[in-house]
C-alpha cells in the first residue's frame, strides 16, 4: 500500500483484537543504541489511534513518530516523542512537485507554511517532492527543483527547520517520479548548498532503483537529512527474508555520526502487527 493512497477507515474487529493484544505486550529491555528511531504513523493507522501508537513507541524505545500533521504534533509530544517528519499536504505532494516552474508559487507557499508550523513546535523536518516527469527531461527537472528550493532555503535556515526532498522509486510504487536516483538528488542538494535542504533517503525505494545502499550512505551522509526503512520486496516487515541487511545498514549510518531520525515505514502483515516494529527497532539498535 502507498502511504499517499492510504484511506483511514473504521477498524475491523480482527484488527482491533490484534491491536489490543499488542498493547498488553511487556516493555522491551533493548538498549537505546546510537540511532534515533521513529515510525511512520500511516503504516499503523488501521491498527492504532495516534495515542495508542505513541504509547507503543515509548514502550519499544522509539524516539519519534513520522509523517504527522501540525494538528497532531501535540499528541506526539505529550508522550515525550518528537514529530520527526511533517506529513505533506496538497499541493506539496508526490505528483505535484518542484520540478515544474509553474508549481513553484503554490508548492513553496505550502512548504513555508509547514516550516513555520514546525518551527513553532520545535519540529525538525518537513518533506517535499520532485514531482513526476510527464516527459520533462531529468536535467531540466533538476534545474527547476534547485530554483524552487532556493526560494525556501533562507526561510528554512531562519527557522531552523530542514526541508527534505524524498527519493522514491519509479519502478514499482511511484511511476514516473523524477527524484528516483540518489545521484540526481545529491547533485540537487549540492547546488542548493544549504544546511537546511537535504534528502530523505528511503532505503526501500533506493534498493529497488540502484542498490549499493551502504556505499551510497557512507559516501554521501552529509546530503541525507532523514531515512526511511522498509522490507524489500513488498515493503513489509524487516525479516530474514529481506534482501536488505538492515543491521549492517544501521551500523553504517551510525558509524558516520548521523544524528537525525531513521523511521520505519513498512506495511505490517504479521500477528500481532506491532511485533514487526519491535523487531525492526531491535535490528536497527546498534
pLDDT digits (tens, 9 = 90+) for 211-269: 999 999 999 999 999 999 999 999 999 988 899 999 999 999 999 999 999 999 999 99
In a domain, 197, yes or no: yes
Distance (Å, whole) CA 249 – CA 230? 12
The answer on pLDDT for 14 being more than 50 is no
User: Which residues are bridge partners to 128 per DSSP?
Assistant: 165
In a domain, 27, yes or no: no
Which residues constitute the domain of residue 86? 33-283
User: Given this model, what pLDDT does residue 89 score?
Assistant: 85
Burial of 13: CB neighbours in 10 Å, binned 0-12, 13-18, 19+:
exposed
User: Given this model, what pLDDT does residue 8 score?
Assistant: 37
In a domain, 231, yes or no: yes
Question: For the chain, what percent of residues have pLDDT higher than 70?
Answer: 89
Quick one: average pLDDT of 89-104? Answer: 94
In a domain, 278, yes or no: yes
**270: its cell numbers:** 504479521
In a domain, 28, yes or no: no
pLDDT in tens, 171-182: 999 999 999 999
pTM: 0.91
User: Given this model, what pLDDT does residue 147 score?
Assistant: 98
| φ and ψ at residue 60, rounded to 5 degrees | -75, -35
* DSSP character string of 7-23: ---PPPHHHHHHHHHHH
In a domain, 95, yes or no: yes
Q: How many domains does the chain have?
A: 1
Query: What is the Cα gyration radius of the chain?
Result: 18
**Quick one: angle between helices 274-283 and 50-60, nearest 10?**
40
Banded model confidence at residue 2, pLDDT cuts 50, 70, 90: very low
pLDDT in tens, 21-70: 455 566 665 567 999 999 999 999 999 999 999 999 999 999 999 999 99
User: Given this model, what pLDDT does residue 90 score?
Assistant: 87
User: Which residues are bridge partners to 86 per DSSP?
Assistant: 68
For residue 55, the tally of other CB atoms under 10 A from its CB is 15
Burial of 108: CB neighbours in 10 Å, binned 0-12, 13-18, 19+:
buried
Strand ranges, E, within the chain: 36-40, 64-68, 82-86, 125-128, 162-166, 197-202, 224-229, 261-264
Task: Give yes or no for a contact between 99 and 144, defined as CB atoms under 8 angstroms apart.
Answer: yes
Contacts of 219-224 with C-beta under 8 Å, sequence gap 24+, read: 220/182, 220/186, 221/253, 221/256, 221/257, 221/258, 223/185, 223/186, 223/189, 223/190, 223/198, 223/199, 224/198, 224/199, 224/200, 224/258, 224/260
User: Given this model, what pLDDT does residue 52 score?
Assistant: 98
The answer on pLDDT for 11 being more than 80 is no
In a domain, 6, yes or no: no
In a domain, 44, yes or no: yes
The CATH number of the domain holding residue 58 is 3.20.20.150
The answer on pLDDT for 209 being more than 60 is yes
| φ and ψ at residue 166, rounded to 5 degrees | -85, 135
Amino acid at each position: 500500500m502507498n502511504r499517499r493512497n492510504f484511506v483511514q477507515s473504521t477498524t475491523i474487529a480482527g484488527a482491533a483484537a490484534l491491536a489490543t493484544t499488542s498493547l498488553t505486550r511487556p516493555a522491551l529491555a533493548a538498549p537505546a543504541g546510537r540511532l534515533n528511531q521513529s515510525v511512520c504513523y500511516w503504516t499503523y493507522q488501521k491498527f492504532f489511534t495516534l495515542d495508542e501508537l505513541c504509547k507503543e513507541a515509548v514502550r519499544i524505545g522509539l524516539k519519534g513518530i513520522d509523517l504527522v500533521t501540525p494538528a497532531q504534533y501535540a499528541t506526539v509530544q505529550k508522550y515525550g516523542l518528537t514529530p520527526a517528519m511533517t506529513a505533506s499536504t496538497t499541493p506539496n505532494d508526490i505528483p505535484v512537485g518542484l520540478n515544474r516552474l509553474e508549481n513553484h508559487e503554490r508548492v513553496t507557499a505550502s512548504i513555508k507554511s509547514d516550516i513555520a508550523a514546525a518551527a513553532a513546535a520545535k519540529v525538525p523536518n518537513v518533506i517535499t517532492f520532485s514531482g513526476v516527469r510527464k516527459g520533462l527531461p531529468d536535467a531540466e527537472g533538476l534545474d527547476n527543483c534547485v530554483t524552487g528550493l532556493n526560494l525556501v532555503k533562507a526561510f528554512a535556515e531562519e527557522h531552523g527547520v530542514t526541508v527534505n526532498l524524498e527519493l522514491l522509486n519509479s519502478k514499482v510504487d511511484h511511476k514516473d517520479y523524477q527524484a528516483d536516483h540518489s545521484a540526481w538528488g545529491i547533485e540537487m542538494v549540492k547546488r542548493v548548498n544549504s544546511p537546511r535542504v537535504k534528502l530523505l533517503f528511503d532505503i526501500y525505494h533506493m534498493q529497488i532503483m540502484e542498490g549499493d545502499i551502504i556505499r551510497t550512505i557512507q559516501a554521501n551522509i552529509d546530503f541525507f537529512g532523514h531515512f526511511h526503512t522498509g522490507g524489500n520486496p513488498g515493503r513489509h516487515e524487516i525479516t530474514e527474508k529481506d534482501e536488505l541487511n538492515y543491521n549492517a545498514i544501521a551500523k553504517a549510518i551510525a558509524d558516520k555520526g548521523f544524528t537525525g531520525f531513521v523511521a520505519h515505514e513498512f506495511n505490517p502483515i504479521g500477528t500481532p502487527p506491532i511485533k514487526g516494529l519491535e523487531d525492526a527497532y531491535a535490528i536497527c539498535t546498534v
